[in-house]
Amino acid sequence: MGRNRWNLPDLGFGIGLRTVHYSYILANQPPIDWFEILSENYMDTGGRPLYVLDQVAERYPVVLHGVSMSVGSTDPLNLDYLKKLKALADRTRAHWVSDHLCWTGVSGINVHDLLPMPYTDESLRYTIERVRAVSEILERPLVLENPSTYLEFGTSTWNEVDFLSTLAQEADCGILLDVNNVYVSCFNHGLDPEAFIDRVPADRVVQYHLAGHTHKGTHILDTHSDHVIDEVWSLYRRSCQRTGGVATLLEWDENIPGFEVVHAEALKARRHRGLPEPDHQRAYGT
């Protein structure tokens, strides 16, 4: 049983469900703990993606993870979107639903990016109300992820981690702590990632994200295109000591290798949590 505020379960070590792995998963039913589903890829289709999702949800625990909720936007909440999201969560018996502390557009436009919030009192008050409203519509607590960011607003009066922590406490939502995003944002803004990790309220952390990134010299882009670097593993270990370890998910979205490679990368997290290797980890030769 997890130590988080809602006793949401520690699902173990999963990966994101991606199209390139569909055939492998259906044919082999690999021994993976769970899958994270990109909500928007399945909300508006009645074709093969939904068929595959139904097969996966039948065999594995799943969690929904979205990129278009736009919880920080000053546009009205998209009730049609939330209705579809709730239906998908019910259909897949998702353990929880997550999205990002960000906005994706205003005036009816969606730029399909996780845009940063100004960390002000005004945005905090506003986002708290929005998160409460979303949780009510979804009839389950929302879990919010810290995004990777590439700029800082001069108007911000809060730092990101205190803004996120206060939001989680006040709006009663969970935190999906993306450890790679902590590293990326702190590098881009010249901040201390360990201090960030240490200030996250442990009882609010429901899930971890791990991923690789692309270092451009002057800044880091969160590309999910490579293996997790040692510094991120170190931050993950540091956070696990505080949370006791929660459901952990490896993201890989560019130059996606075969299923075994991605799964093996996810299973490395077991070692970093001090857990023994399962048999299938040895089978993948990691």
* Residues binding other proteins (CB under 8 A): 40, 43-48, 50-51, 68, 73-74, 78, 81, 103, 105-113, 115, 118, 120, 122-123, 126, 150-155, 188-190, 217-219, 221
- For residues 167, 188, 178, 14, the Cα torsion angle rounded to the nearest 10 degrees is 160
- List phi, psi (to 5°) of 268: -60, -30
Cα separation, 94 vs 88, in Å, equals 8
Contact between 120 and 89 (Cβ < 8 Å): no
- Which is closer to other proteins, CB of 154 or CB of 285? 154
Nearest approach, Cβ of residue 175 and other proteins (Å): 22
- Which is closer to other proteins, CB of 55 or CB of 165? 55
Nearest approach, Cβ of residue 22 and other proteins (Å): 10
Cα separation, 99 vs 259, in Å, equals 24
Cα separation, 162 vs 150, in Å, equals 18
Nearest approach, Cβ of residue 106 and other proteins (Å): 5
Nearest approach, Cβ of residue 4 and other proteins (Å): 28
Nearest approach, Cβ of residue 91 and other proteins (Å): 14
Which helix H or strand E contains 92, and what residues bound it?
Answer: helix 79-92
Nearest to 251 by CA among 220, 211, 215: 211
- Which is closer to other proteins, CB of 122 or CB of 136? 122
Burial class (CB in 10 A: 0-12, 13-18, 19+), 186: buried
